[in-house]
Amino acid sequence: MIVKLETAGLVCPFPLVEAKEAMAKLNKGDGIEIEFDCTQATEAIPNWAAEEGYEVTNFEQVGNAKWTITVVK
């Protein structure tokens, strides 16, 4: 199961904060797809995923200043 998390418009660190809260509710093998427009999160979210041992299965820029990343628990 992949949960979509729309955080566009939120300033950092809130995309990461919301991602952590959403991930805490999921089971192993589930994930979150985060859409965000905060440039700091382009480093913060992948770094957090790596620190927690989560897998990043997709990370792409989808607009001028918008990205999507999928992180699996």
Catalytic position from the list 10, 12, 44, 56: 12
- SS3 per-residue string spanning the chain: CEEEEECCCCCCCHHHHHHHHHHHCCCCCCEEEEEECCCCHHHHHHHHHHHHCCEEEEEEEEECCEEEEEEEC
Q: Is 12 a catalytic residue?
A: yes
Q: Would you name the residues annotated as active-site residues?
A: 12
